[in-house]
Amino acid sequence: MSTKKFQTSTKAQGAESKPKAKSGRKKAAPVLATPEEIQADTPTEELWTAYQSARKRGADGEAMVEALRNELMERHLPLVRYIAERLLQTLPKSIELDDLISAGLFGLMDAIRGFDPARGIKFKTYCSTRIRGSILDQLRSQDWVPRLVRLKAGRIEKALQRLTGLYGREPTHAELAESLEMDHAELSREMREANAKAMFSLSEKWEDHDDDNGTEKVDVLEDHDSVDPFHELNRADLLHFITRSLTHKERFIIEQYYQVGHTMREIGEMLALTESRVCQIHSNVMGRLKGLLGQKQGTLLM
């Protein structure tokens, strides 16, 4: 083959290779211009590019900004739910998951509004902090205990746990005060202030399961105003024992006054006696019963 023919074939091959190099270039992604162009399979990077461009257009891009923001929120909703579920594990059962998710959505919305891709930070990392902070702010706003009280309680609790692990026992008041660099009076005052009462819902289930047949906490509370049947039976037996030596009239006065709750005047009307006479009989009976109980007690001591 001659040199001329070789050069001609080399040029032909180079000409054929040029179109192939152009066809291998990556095409630029189209910029979304209308809300109708947003698809479920649109890459998130394209959504952010279109969101920044729509915000720069001002009032003309408000519809596009709203549509893109809604799409970005829907895509990151599982992240909000994940963070809310993680926080719920450390909170009382009275806190509802839906309330945490609602607070987290406000944090997600603020994160979308304030995110700047030019800073080189991943949006997931940025919005996770904002979502968690928004949920915690909502919880603090509903807490009736001041935040300073919570901080004092946490500081004392951490020192208590550290000294317990160090000594292998619960530290004394003096050791705890020395660790916190306080005197006894100051530590006692902070412990009283930090001992805030917790609030619980009486509608909560007493058991771990949340079925409709579970017992609520209000069902197991002690009613201090209710009558104790066991105490009443003992009281009735004791009253019968100490009044068995009395006459019918004397026993009637004692039973009506202490057991039924009638007044001296009402008892006198039932017995056709004056109020002063009923009081006199009552005083005589009580004196005799006290003497009888004193003799019984002396006999038992002997």
Residue tagged 């004692």 (tokens): 254
- Summary mean pLDDT of the chain: 77
Domain boundaries, the chain: 35-142, 146-196, 229-301
Predicted pLDDT of residue 300: 40
Sign of the torsion formed by the C-alpha atoms of 292, 293, 299 and 302: negative
Q: What is the pLDDT of residues 153-205, one digit of tens each?
A: 788 888 888 888 888 888 888 888 888 888 888 888 888 776 655 566 666 66
The partner residues of 281 in beta bridges, in order of sequence, read none
Q: What is the chain's percent helix, strand, coil content, to nearest 5?
A: 70, 0, 30
Q: What is d(CA 127, CA 198) in angstroms, rounded to the nearest whole number?
A: 31
Class of domain 35-142 as given by CATH: mainly alpha
Answer whether 0.75 is exceeded by the pTM.
no
Same fold, 35-142 and 146-196: no
Residue tagged 């009976």 (tokens): 285
Residue 147 reports pLDDT greater than 80: no
Residues with Cβ within 8 Å of residue 198, at least 6 apart in sequence: 92
Residues with Cβ within 8 Å of residue 49, at least 6 apart in sequence: 29, 31
Residue 221 reports pLDDT greater than 80: no
Residues 183, 177 contacting (CB under 8 angstroms): yes
Domain 146-196 annotated CATH 1.10.10: yes
Residues 176, 164 contacting (CB under 8 angstroms): no
Q: What is d(CA 50, CA 37) in angstroms, rounded to the nearest whole number?
A: 11
Phi-psi region of 278 (alpha: psi -120 to 50; beta: other; left: phi over 0): alpha
As a whole number of Å, the end-to-end CA separation of the chain is 143
Mean pLDDT is lowest, of 108-112, 132-136, 233-237, for: 233-237
Q: In the CATH scheme, what architecture does the domain 229-301 have?
A: Orthogonal Bundle (1.10)
Q: What is the pLDDT of residues 12-65, one digit of tens each?
A: 444 444 444 444 444 444 555 565 666 666 777 778 888 888 878 777 778 888
- 212 falls in which pLDDT band (50, 70, 90)? low
Q: Read off φ and ψ for residue 223, nearest 5 degrees.
A: -95, 105
